[in-house]
Amino acid sequence: MHLLVLPALLLLSGCSHMAQDSWTGRDKAQHFLASAMLSAAGNEYAQRQGVSRDRSGAIGVMFSVSLGASKELWDSRPAGSGWSWKDFAWDVAGATTGYTLWQMAHY
């Protein structure tokens, strides 16, 4: 069910502008690293607010992924470079890695 939300949002927002990019490149590393750092930072912040370990992990990942999706939505405007599922995949991979590393460091 949740997997249908993002494509529906793209259709409703009028996004028909897709990027023609590759799976590798400097921007993919930037997506991955930024998402990993944002996920770990969101984890840490939530836990310092007294949120449980499991919930803080979910907050960190969703914080990172939502920023990645927002950036892709911004790119999908007519003057942008277009929505990139490849960038978004690197965002999700980075957020997951950031979550994993944060959990390992705080176990």
- 62, part of any domain: yes
- 11, part of any domain: no
Q: Domain total for the chain?
A: 1
The pLDDT tens digits for 22-75 are: 899 889 999 999 999 999 999 999 999 999 988 999 999 999 999 999 999 999
**Res 20: pLDDT:** 82
- 4, part of any domain: no
Which class for 35: exposed (0-12), middle (13-18), buried (19 or more C-beta within 10 A)? buried
**Res 14: pLDDT:** 54
**Res 77: pLDDT:** 87
**Res 39: pLDDT:** 97
- 18, part of any domain: no
Q: Which of 2-6, 28-32, 96-100, 103-107 has the lowest mean pLDDT?
A: 2-6
Which class for 64: exposed (0-12), middle (13-18), buried (19 or more C-beta within 10 A)? buried
- 34, part of any domain: no
- 75, part of any domain: yes
**Res 2: pLDDT:** 57
- 80, part of any domain: yes
Range of the domain at 95: 40-107
- 12, part of any domain: no
The candidate with the shortest Cα–Cα distance to 99, out of 26, 70, 107, is: 107
**Res 51: pLDDT:** 95
Residue 10 confidence (pLDDT) above 70: no
25 token code pair: 């490149």
34 token code pair: 């930024």
Q: Is the dihedral of CA 98, 2, 26, 41 positive or negative?
A: negative
**Res 87: pLDDT:** 93
Report d(CA 31, CA 70) in Å as an integer: 13
**Res 15: pLDDT:** 58
